Amino acid sequence: MIEQSKKGYLTLAFGKNFAEMAVDMALSIKQFDSKPVSCVVDSKTKNYINKNYEFVFDKLIELDDNSSLGRARKFYSTLLSPYDETIFVDADIIILGKVDRLWENTFSNHTIMIGDYLSIEKDKNHHGFSTSYLQKQFNVKKYLKTNSGCFYFNVKSKAFFKSCIEKHKLLENHTNLNHIGFLGDEITIGIIAERFNVGVFNIYPSLMMWDKELSVLQPDLKFYEFPICHFIAPIPEITVNWIISKSRNRRVQNSICTKGSKVWTELNRSNITNMQPLRIYEKVNFKIKKLFSKFL
């Protein structure tokens, strides 16, 4: 039991919908791993979970519901982890298979992300930003293009996340950036990751499904080499229904209400809506923004 408390999973849930997702996410982790799962919440969400899902999480950790935290809320939550070593998992993720390989890459870096480091010559679109533009703007040799939905960190990562908080505040006040793309937490991470020697999971193929895998994801096929299903892009309706069915079964096994699992349908519909306009227009829009950024 002592060893168990040294390692665990952490998620973040503010509001009823995220609480419902966090419950299903936590139960999906527990299907494949016995390590504890804790959740960072505000007071209202804490009351909601205690009332409806008292025994799902090993710990509920309260963070003040301060709207000024914005996208930096995830950085603040890492500072509250009760574990020496933590895997953070977004609430809008369902685990579909074993994720033990996430713990096998934790020997050389205090913080490890899913993604790739990019040189200035290897320009990519990251939330509407040209990564090369960001590197030039902030004098970054290597930019970490990452999905912050799942990452490893330990007790020595605090300096990195505190720096993320400080940097994110500066970026939000950067007038030019707010007119180019979506200024999320991943942009902050990308800019300062190399300075703090943030590692990248040495896993091939990646454990996380990306847009391409999500768009063709089918029930019961051999996709368990990509066990992290993050609802960041539209997923076929038949597969969402299958995921909901599995989530409801886990809820039944834990004697809790099954109605909350319908939130995945609503989230997927939202993703479908957010995919508009068509990708060709998104590419043109990115090129225009990239050209515009050169003159900023």
Token representation of residue 106: 């934790």
Domain interval for residue 77: 2-293
Residue 233's contacts (CB-CB under 8 Å, 6 or more residues apart) are 210, 211, 214, 215, 271, 275
pLDDT bin (cut points 50, 70, 90) of residue 131 is very high
* pLDDT confidence of residue 271: 87
62: left (phi over 0), alpha (psi -120 to 50) or beta: beta
pLDDT bin (cut points 50, 70, 90) of residue 103 is very high
**Distance (Å, whole) CA 11 – CA 119:** 31
Locus of tokens 């950790």: 61
CATH code, domain carrying 260: 3.90.550.10
**Distance (Å, whole) CA 88 – CA 125:** 25
Report pTM. Answer: 0.89
* pLDDT confidence of residue 224: 65
Residue 19's contacts (CB-CB under 8 Å, 6 or more residues apart) are 13, 41, 45, 48, 49, 53, 91, 260
The answer to whether 112 and 152 are in contact (CB under 8 A) is yes
* pLDDT confidence of residue 238: 93
* pLDDT confidence of residue 181: 84
pLDDT bin (cut points 50, 70, 90) of residue 94 is very high
| Per-residue pLDDT tens digits for 258-292 | 999 999 999 999 988 876 544 544 555 555 555 55
Of the chain, the percentage scoring pLDDT greater than 70 comes to: 87
Which residue type occupies 144? L
Total number of domains in the chain: 1
The 3-state secondary structure of the chain, one letter per residue: CHHHHHEEEEEEECCHHHHHHHHHHHHHHHHHCCCCEEEEECHHHHHHHHHHCCCCCCEEEECCCCHHHHHHHHHHHHCCCCCCEEEEECCCEEECCCCHHHHHHCCCCCEEEEEEEECCCCCCEECCEEHHHHHHHHCCCCEEEEEEEEEEEEHHHHHHHHHHHHHHHHHHCCCCHHHCCCCCHHHHHHHHCHHHCCEECCCCCCCECCHHHHHCCCCCCCCCCCCEEECCCCCCHHHHHHHHHHHHHHHHHCCCCCHHHHHHHHHHHHHHHHCCCCHHHHHHHHHHHHHHHCCC
Q: Is 60 exceeded by the pLDDT of residue 117? A: yes
